[in-house]
Structure 1
Amino acid sequence: MPTRLLIIADTHVPKRARDLPAQVWDAVDAADVVVHAGDWVDERLLDDLEERARRLVAVWGNNDHGALRERLGEEARVVVDGIHLGVVHETGGAKGREERCSAKYPDLDVLVFGHSHIPWDTTSESGLRLLNPGSPTDRRRQPYCTYLTAVAEDGRLRDVQLHRIVKAPPGSRSPEEA
């Protein structure tokens, strides 16, 4: 049976938004595994996701301190339906990212990362798939707030889809703001 993944990062709650958008909470409810690549900012969101998600795989980011760093690691590694998946917050600059990450994580099939708020989906020469979901609450230099969904099945990742937030969450930067 396929495993449905929700991939998010850089939620920055409540700094950039009071909560996740309803669209993302619906995706949490639909997912078998929720992956969060750091920059939570507030421990309350971690509590809420731990309670609501069927399974949560998560790390802390550079904006996370105190209890978040005590409860989460800097890196996470799991096997999801035969896929060796890693999660980190930062991978360094975009230039040379594929080669750098392939060298650092030779045993992974997929590496999820955040930090930049810029969606990213590439595959290195070694076959490592690199995914950044952007941010569901802070679009930064992007036209939309975003998140990813995917399906893991029999050791393959398929149906990777970047979703735009239809309505900006209260207190977040909407696409109309410059």
Structure 2
Amino acid sequence: MNNYLPATIDPTDVVTTIGLISDTHMPQRWATMPTAVSQIFANVDLIFHAGDVGELWVLDELSRLVPVIAVHGNDDSEDAQRELPYQQVVMVAGQRLLIWHSHYANRVDELHSRRSGSLCEGLLRSIARAKSAGARLVHFGHWHLPLVFEKDGIVVVNAGAIASGNPFQAQAIQSVALLFLLKDGRCHITHVNLADPERPYAPQTDIDAGFAKNFEIYGRSILAPDLEFLPKVDLSEIYQTDRGAFLDVWLPLAHRVWAGEKPHVTLDELLAAVKTADIKEETRKRLTAVFKAGLSL
């Protein structure tokens, strides 16, 4: 654990160490817990999960290390949304800590909030949430961007993510974080890149740059050039009637890319998957028509 602390902090001054993780989206967007997570969290006292857990077995697995406190996210399984709270305040080492995903509970409000593309607005919202709860630190998820921000004596931290923010991308840098609470009331946060788990990682998130610019670092398209139209295709009608059918077709293709077996998904692969998928014939025809029509976009 000492290799995650700067030389300026005496390890004996650490009162509690908490593992921070978020946006695992398992197993829909990532199959299993990366082995590096258990390595990084080997000596923590608690784990905080800031939502978009996926299935609840994810928390069961993490709890084999130490107890886990978690909240649900906006893109969670039905079980996770039912059983996990929207927000959790935890008292540790005399300090009040707040965990939330940071999404808007109302879907319309959530979509409206994304129009500005500003990180600052969302960070100030977490600051306000902390003040309301009397918390001095907020651990949030949702953004898939590792960062630390401080204002008015309140620290806001995002651990980054394990899985991608949508099914058409990969999380280019998977990360977690360690929160060290010190005897004098201060804290230290260390991010760790799962690809290089032996040393601290310095987040590259530029708070002033906005979401789009930061996603160039932390998000990567898994679409081949002949499928770049896909995010522009209106799938709303299919989602309303048979979202499961689309995901049944798409996710096996995406998982091969996420697992590093291939660089991207091609149009031919997608059409072939639609052709052989175990879905209703009417849905098969509609999906094929939609994807072929997308070529003209």
Structure 1 length-normalised TM:
0.84
1:58 aligned residue: 70
Partner of residue 153, structure 2? 127
Q: Give the aligned partner of residue 105 of structure 1.
A: 130
SS at match of 2:61: helix
Unaligned runs of 5+ in 1: none
1:73 aligned residue: 85
Structure 2: 5+ residue stretches without partners = 1-13, 104-112, 197-254, 265-297
Cα root mean square deviation, aligned: 2.5
Choose between structure 1 and 2: higher helix proportion. 2
The aligned counterpart of 1:156 is 186
Residue 51 of structure 2 is aligned to residue 38 of structure 1: yes
Residue of structure 2 in register with 1:7 after alignment: 20
On the 8 A contact 1:37/1:59 being kept in 2, the answer is: yes
Post-superposition Cα deviations, 1:14-67, rounded to whole Å, max 9, x if no partner, equal 1122111111022333211101000011121122223x1322121001111322
Larger radius of gyration between Structure 1 and Structure 2: 2
Task: Report Cα offsets for 1:73-131 as digits up to 9, x if no partner.
Answer: 0001111112211000025651323433332321111001011101121101x111010
- Counterpart in the other structure of 1:94: 119
Partner amino acid for 2:136? Answer: D
Give the number of the structure whose residues are more often strand, by fraction.
1
Question: Residues 24 and 136 of structure 1 are in contact (CA less than 8 Å); yes or no, is this contact kept in structure 2?
Answer: no
Where does residue 277 of structure 2 map in the other structure?
none
Contact 2:18 2:178 survives alignment (8 Å): yes
Cα distance in 2 for partners of 1:84, 1:8 equals 18
Rounded Cα–Cα distance in structure 2 between residues aligned with 1:177 and 1:127: 44
Matched, 1:115 2:112: no
Q: Tell me how far apart the structure 2 counterparts of residues 57 and 97 of structure 1 sit (CA, whole Å).
A: 23
Q: Secondary structure at the match of 1:102?
A: helix
Which secondary structure does the structure 2 equivalent of 1:105 belong to? helix
Stretch of structure 1 that moved more, 100-109 or 9-18: 100-109
TM-score, normalisation: structure 2:
0.52
